[in-house]
Amino acid sequence: MNQKIAQHKHCRSCSKAFVGEGRYCSDECQEGNEQTMKRKKRQLLMLYVVSVAIMIGALLMSVLG
């Protein structure tokens, strides 16, 4: 009753099990993940920019006020 599972990987995007090379089960998953990563990087960059702007604004207010 003990069945063996074939060697496989899980897709980084959809977590579906697949046999083969690479990190994704299909080109669609790879493209979708690349778009998601670009969006997350852009959001992180905007967070940094806004944080620096707020810090500069706070410093200016404390010096001038």
* Tens digits of residue pLDDT in 15-50: 999 998 999 999 999 999 999 999 999 999 999 999
Residue 16: per-residue pLDDT: 94
Reported confidence tier of residue 7, pLDDT bands at 50, 70, 90: confident
Report whether 23 contacts 12 (CB < 8 A): yes
Domain residue ranges in the chain? 9-64
> Which residue in this structure is represented by tokens 């046999």?
19
Residue 1: per-residue pLDDT: 65
